Structure 1
Amino acid sequence: MTSLSPPLRRAAGAGLLGALLMLAGCASPAVEQYAAEQPRLLLREYFDGPMTAHGVFTDRSGQVVRRFTVKLVGRWNGPEGVLEEDFVYSDGKTERRVWRLTDHGGGRYTGRADDVVGEARGQAAGNALRWRYTLALPVDGRVWEVQFDDWMYLMDAERKVMLNKATMSKFGIRLGEVTLAFHKP
């Protein structure tokens, strides 16, 4: 086995360290670490009835690219639910998404919507929910499939405020973030 020269050893070491740091940066918390947090988030209770959300989309640099308001109405029949979302963006454009949700018990949820590719999957524990899905996003006449990693946190004992932070990525590259504050009447 040949020995590497000191400059090559340093370069290889730096490359390995960089790769390890990138992998560590990709790691995210497990939803189970929030199991003891209160108040407990139960989607069938929170997403039942009318509510409003206000949000922003920020690009990779953190610049706000879009602001929006969402009017939501949720209805459940046993473990099956429908969540209607009507978006109004600051530029006047509108969008509608209708989620069909299923509560599988044990904090596990799935969902489908017309612009979601396949099935969204979620896991709740304590006051948190992690919700992951692929969205078919129209951009300049093309449709991009982008991945969303949503984290929702129920904030108050009255169960009226929930915060949502979602990372949007493509091919593992972070494109931006969506931040929302949900408010129930």
Structure 2
Amino acid sequence: MSAALIYGGSFEFLLIGLATAAAPLASIATTAFMVNVRHVFYALSSPCTAYGTFALSDETYALTAGEEARSWAGRRILWLQFLMHLYWAGSATARALLGSLFPEGVTGLDFALTTLFTVLALDALRELRDDLPTPALALLSAVAARLLFPGQLLLAAFALFTAELPARRCTTGKRARHA
């Protein structure tokens, strides 16, 4: 059910942890804003409907930001968004149903998501061989946040990394490449 109402994968995962920790509503709202603020910029180049703004995702933006997609009608983009949202909610429901089939004593499955992100990070690192300072800054941000703000690790790491990128650009004159 939450996948249909909260169409933001990373925030949906964060919300589970925040809810189980009984985080204050203000903390949940701030976290939701920080995680999804990029969608404000996506919305500037998207069909302006209430659902179109809600259904923006990184994947939809990636598909519609290219040169060829600029000629697409707004209706086509809205259908794309709807189908991606339907896929997200449907696959989340299927995962929940399949997950309920696992017996109670099975352990270690919670590590699968961590493993997935580790593999994705390693693949991205291979792509960034000529741009090693960017992942190094990300790692430095995480370590510094862990040492300086252990209770607010994620927010502090994001803030530090965001502050370091413009400084890096000013010193090197290069933009960070995106994988």
Q: TM-score range by the shorter chain?
A: under 0.3
Greater fraction helix = 2
Structure-1-length-normalised TM-score = 0.22
Greater fraction strand = 1
Higher RCO by CA contacts (8 Å cutoff, separation 6 or greater): 1
Structure showing greater radius of gyration is 1
Structure-2-length-normalised TM-score = 0.23
